[in-house]
């Protein structure tokens, strides 16, 4: 196996849950997600929530945990696009300012994990609301400490205030995702696994 990119998440107390979509072999598929949850609550309930959140991240591809984690340049671009649109319509600046503020709130609900509508809730609760509600079953406060999303053909998405993902040069390696391999024609998969003290995720080249 040859690693293209790799990342790991760990928490002091809590769980790191993983989800692999489009699995081709055990622990490897077309997309992988890690979600780190900090909590002193019930591990089983916490793990179930973590699994649901990992599936949510796989489906919705959030860009950040909350607005503070977004690239300021991207936020500025969104503001400029909205403002220019309404200037062309002849709206006064004070009205444009309010429209832009409202538009950004809508944008945050689309790209920020905590503000997104939770896919496992039919009533449209946000992820933040769903996590808060789950604290009753878990028996303690829960904090999303970070997440990583790798998908074939996409740039990785990682939002982890504890430890940022580490990119690595390709190196021959074997694990449960496949055997040692090399060569430009070898297929690529996303692998998820667990070490002695952390969960890891990688985009890797494996033997066919």
Confidence of residue 75 (pLDDT cuts 50, 70, 90): very high
Report the pLDDT value the prediction gives residue 166, as an integer from 0 to 100. 37
The answer to whether 189 and 24 are in contact (CB under 8 A) is yes
Percentage of residues in the chain having pLDDT higher than 90: 54
Confidence of residue 175 (pLDDT cuts 50, 70, 90): very low
List of domains in the chain: 2-70+112-205 (3.30.479.20)
Count of CB atoms situated within 10 Å of the CB of 187: 13
Mean pLDDT for 23-33 is 71
The pTM assigned to this predicted structure is 0.75
Q: What is the dihedral of CA 111, 15, 24, 188, to 10 degrees?
A: 60
Q: For residue range 111-143, what is the model confidence (pLDDT) as tens digits?
A: 999 999 999 998 889 999 999 999 999 999 999
């Amino acid at each position: 196996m040859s690693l293209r990119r790799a990342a790991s998440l760990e928490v002091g107390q809590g769980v790191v849950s993983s989800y692999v979509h489009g699995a081709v072999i055990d622990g490897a598929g077309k997309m992988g997600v890690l979600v780190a949850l900090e909590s002193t609550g019930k591990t089983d309930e916490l793990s179930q929530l973590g699994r649901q959140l990992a599936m949510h991240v796989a489906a919705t591809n959030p860009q950040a945990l909350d607005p503070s984690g977004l690239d300021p340049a991207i936020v500025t671009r969104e503001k400029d696009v909205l403002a220019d649109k309404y200037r062309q319509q002849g709206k006064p600046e004070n009205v444009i300012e309010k429209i832009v503020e409202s538009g950004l709130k809508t944008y945050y609900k689309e790209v920020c994990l905590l503000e997104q509508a939770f896919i496992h809730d039919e009533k449209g609760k946000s992820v933040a609301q769903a996590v808060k509600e789950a604290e009753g079953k878990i028996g303690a406060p829960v904090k999303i400490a970070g997440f990583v999303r790798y998908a074939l053909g996409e740039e990785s998405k990682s939002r982890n205030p504890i430890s940022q993902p580490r990119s690595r040069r390709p190196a021959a390696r074997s694990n449960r995702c496949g055997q040692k391999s090399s060569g430009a024609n070898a297929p690529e998969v996303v692998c998820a696994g667990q070490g002695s003290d952390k969960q890891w995720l990688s985009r890797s080249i494996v033997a066919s």
